[in-house]
């Protein structure tokens, strides 16, 4: 059986990729998923659309190469994390729209919780900062707002899952309800050290144990797909949240290796091996994808709006026709002429954690042009990443040697060079930047013996380009001072 199929269910699209024995991607298909914004700060998706888009992408990937389902050794699943779905076990129908990770509807609830004595204890148990980002408050919201949901959850009629568990449920025709530690560690209901659901947290959030999936290792066969979907019963061998999958796809399997993904948001992760991390700088401690039965950990920092700021330039402002066009426009001016964009459209993530901050465009003069604003948007991605990396280095007690990059916006050479300059560290871009799907494939392939070892996987990783820092320290310091000032202003409120 010559191939591994990776299902990569992201925030804006569901993708499916096929890999051969040498870890080469031979096909990739995608289907878009529409977000809905029913109120300011709210973000929803249709769970059925997520499933159908994923199935459609998988079928087209197989068709494109003429590969029948029986030639797939295993499926690996990776997914947008934290996004919360509750469904009826009997019918497989969702009882509410998926509440997407970006959604801020539980900001008030989380603010009260964070300032209560329970706040610090939640962080101690989960490694997470109390914030609407994570699943627990989103589950609470659905149980509170869907008629009868709490009672039905307690009676065992409902199932909760992040998108991985939802897809496994659908793929197995409702036979398997399972997640992995990397996803479970983002729900705010898992005890990070124990790797199990935590009764104290379940009690505080009022979430009945009966709704929860089992937690299986990230690289393990958890079930087989119904033959109806892809023409054959295929083992599901890997599950990991998108960022932990990307860490694996970047061949960061050991303590000290780090990556940053530039997608809708930015996610920087530093592998800490078997050491349970704790952050003194408001980053998250989380589970890395486990390549065997042992627990593996990472420190993570997330920026909510990164590539999404470029989408905003395109869709809301109409300043660019395509995301790729931002590169030439930004490079057409020597600097932003003092303009800063802080895209705090849904508040600020790590290390600020301010759900009430809102975006700001500052430093405007009559000379400010489209190019300056576009450049400021790209630079904001690099500044936000730097804020994460500074906190990460402080937690780790040592500077990063390099940062491996991936995600849609990592294709932007201007952004990568500016990132190297503002970070003062080399930026390393691999040949295959679809590392999320690759990581899911790695985990699935390891589980079924398609690949034998982590060392074999490390051999597949290839550098495409290294961006060396070349900005003068004085210029960097001047720019960073301006950024700090702009961030302070976006946190102003009446």
Residue 326 lies near ligand ADP (rule: CB under 6 A): yes
Residue 380 lies near ligand ADP (rule: CB under 6 A): no
Task: Say if residues 80 and 100 touch (Cβ distance below 8 Å).
Answer: yes
Distance CA 161, CA 301 (A): 23
Q: Pick the closer one to ligand ADP by CB: 201 or 422.
A: 422
Stretch that binds ligand ADP, among 6-14, 85-93, 187-195, 473-481 (CB under 6 A): 6-14
Taking residue 402's Cβ as centre, other Cβ atoms within 10 Å add up to 17
Angle between helix 473-490 and 370-396 (nearest 10): 100
CB of 114 to ligand ADP, least distance (A): 26
CA angle 146, 150, 154 (to 5 degrees): 145
Positions 148 through 167 that interact with ligand ADP (CB under 6 A)? none
Which residue matches tokens 């050290």?
193
Distance CA 166, CA 50 (A): 9
3-state DSSP call for residue 99?
strand
CB of 154 to ligand ADP, least distance (A): 35
By CB under 6 A, name the one of 82, 198, 327, 379 that touches ligand ADP. 327
Tell me, rounded to whole angstroms, the distance of Cα 77 from its chain centroid.
Answer: 13
Question: Alpha helix locations (H) across 172-306?
Answer: 181-184, 199-205, 227-230, 242-249
CB of 12 to ligand ADP, least distance (A): 4
CB of 427 to ligand ADP, least distance (A): 14
Q: How many residues are listed for the chain in this entry?
A: 494
Positions 73 through 112 that interact with ligand ADP (CB under 6 A)? none
CB of 410 to ligand ADP, least distance (A): 8
**How far from each other are the two terminal CA atoms of the chain, in whole angstroms?**
63
Q: Pick the closer one to ligand ADP by CB: 318 or 397.
A: 318
| Whether the bond into 377 is cis, omega within 30 of 0 | no
By CB under 6 A, name the one of 155, 324, 463, 484 that touches ligand ADP. 324
CB of 306 to ligand ADP, least distance (A): 7
What are the respective helix, strand and coil percentages of the chain, to the nearest 5?
40, 25, 40
CB of 7 to ligand ADP, least distance (A): 13
- Count the residues of the shown chain that bind ligand ADP, applying the rule CB under 6 A: 19
Q: Pick the closer one to ligand ADP by CB: 225 or 326.
A: 326
Q: Pick the closer one to ligand ADP by CB: 12 or 52.
A: 12
Residues 6+ apart with CB under 8 A from 390: none
Positions 246 through 275 that interact with ligand ADP (CB under 6 A)? 263-264
Residue 310 lies near ligand ADP (rule: CB under 6 A): yes
By CB under 6 A, name the one of 3, 5, 9, 10 that touches ligand ADP. 10
3-state DSSP call for residue 55?
helix
Stretch that binds ligand ADP, among 39-47, 71-79, 211-219, 318-326 (CB under 6 A): 318-326
Report which secondary-structure segment, H or E, holds 326. Answer: helix 325-331
Distance CA 52, CA 48 (A): 6
CB of 191 to ligand ADP, least distance (A): 28
Q: Residue of minimal CB distance from ligand ADP?
A: 408
By CB under 6 A, name the one of 213, 307, 349, 351 that touches ligand ADP. 307
CA distances, 290 to each of 3, 103, 252, 296 (Å): 22, 28, 12, 6
Residue 12 lies near ligand ADP (rule: CB under 6 A): yes
CB of 13 to ligand ADP, least distance (A): 6
Tell me, rounded to whole angstroms, the distance of Cα 377 from its chain centroid.
Answer: 20
Mark residues 384-413: x for contact with ligand ADP by CB under 6 A, - for none.
-----------------------xxx-xx-
Residues that bind ligand ADP (CB under 6 A): 10-13, 263-264, 307-308, 310-311, 323-324, 326-327, 407-409, 411-412
């Amino acid at each position: 059986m010559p191939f591994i199929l990776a299902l990569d269910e992201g925030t804006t699209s569901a993708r499916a990729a096929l890999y051969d024995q040498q870890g080469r991607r031979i096909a990739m298909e995608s289907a878009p998923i529409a977000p809905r914004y029913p109120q300011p700060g709210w973000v929803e998706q249709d769970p059925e659309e997520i499933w159908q888009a994923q199935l459609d992408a998988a079928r087209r990937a197989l068709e494109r190469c003429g590969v029948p389902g029986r030639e797939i050794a295993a499926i690996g699943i990776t997914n947008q994390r934290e996004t919360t779905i509750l469904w009826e076990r009997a019918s497989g129908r969702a009882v509410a729209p998926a509440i997407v990770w970006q959604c801020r509807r539980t900001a008030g609830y989380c603010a009260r919780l964070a300032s209560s004595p329970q706040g610090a204890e939640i962080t101690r148990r989960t490694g997470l900062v109390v914030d609407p980002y994570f699943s627990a408050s989103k589950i609470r919201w659905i149980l509170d707002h869907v008629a009868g949901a709490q009672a039905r959850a307690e009676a065992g009629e409902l199932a909760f899952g992040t998108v991985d568990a939802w897809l496994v449920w659908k793929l197995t025709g409702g036979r398997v309800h399972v997640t992995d530690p990397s996803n479970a560690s983002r729900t705010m209901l898992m005890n990070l050290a124990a790797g199990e659901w935590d009764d104290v947290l379940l009690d505080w959030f009022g979430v009945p144990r009966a709704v929860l999936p089992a937690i299986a290792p990230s690289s393990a066969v958890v079930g087989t797909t119904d033959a109806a979907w892809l023409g054959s019963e295929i083992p599901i061998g890997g599950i990991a949240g998108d960022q932990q999958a990307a860490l694996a796809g970047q061949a960061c399997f050991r303590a000290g290796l780090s990556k940053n993904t530039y997608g809708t948001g930015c996610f920087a992760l530093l592998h800490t091996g078997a050491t349970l991390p704790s952050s003194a700088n408001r980053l998250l401690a989380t589970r890395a994808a486990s390549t065997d039965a042992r627990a593996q950990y990472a420190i993570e920092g997330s920026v909510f709006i990164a590539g999404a700021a470029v989408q905003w330039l395109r869709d809301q402002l109409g300043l660019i026709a395509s995301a790729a066009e931002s590169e030439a426009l930004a490079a057409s001016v020597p600097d932003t002429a003092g303009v800063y964009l802080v895209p705090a459209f849904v508040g600020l993530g790590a290390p600020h954690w301010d759900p009430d901050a809102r975006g700001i465009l500052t430093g405007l003069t009559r000379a400010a042009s489209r190019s300056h604003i576009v450049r400021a948007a790209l630079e904001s991605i690099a500044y936000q990443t730097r804020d994460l990396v500074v906190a990460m280095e402080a937690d780790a007690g040592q500077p990063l040697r390099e940062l491996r990059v991936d995600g849609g916006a990592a294709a932007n050479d201007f952004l990568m060079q500016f990132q190297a300059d503002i970070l003062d560290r080399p930026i390393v871009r691999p040949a295959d930047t679809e590392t999320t799907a690759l990581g899911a494939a790695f985990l699935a392939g390891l589980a079924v013996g398609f690949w034998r070892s982590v060392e074999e996987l490390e051999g597949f990783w290839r550098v495409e380009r290294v961006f060396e820092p070349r900005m003068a320290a004085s210029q960097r310091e001047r720019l960073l001072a301006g950024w700090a000032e702009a961030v302070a202003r976006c946190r102003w409120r009446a």
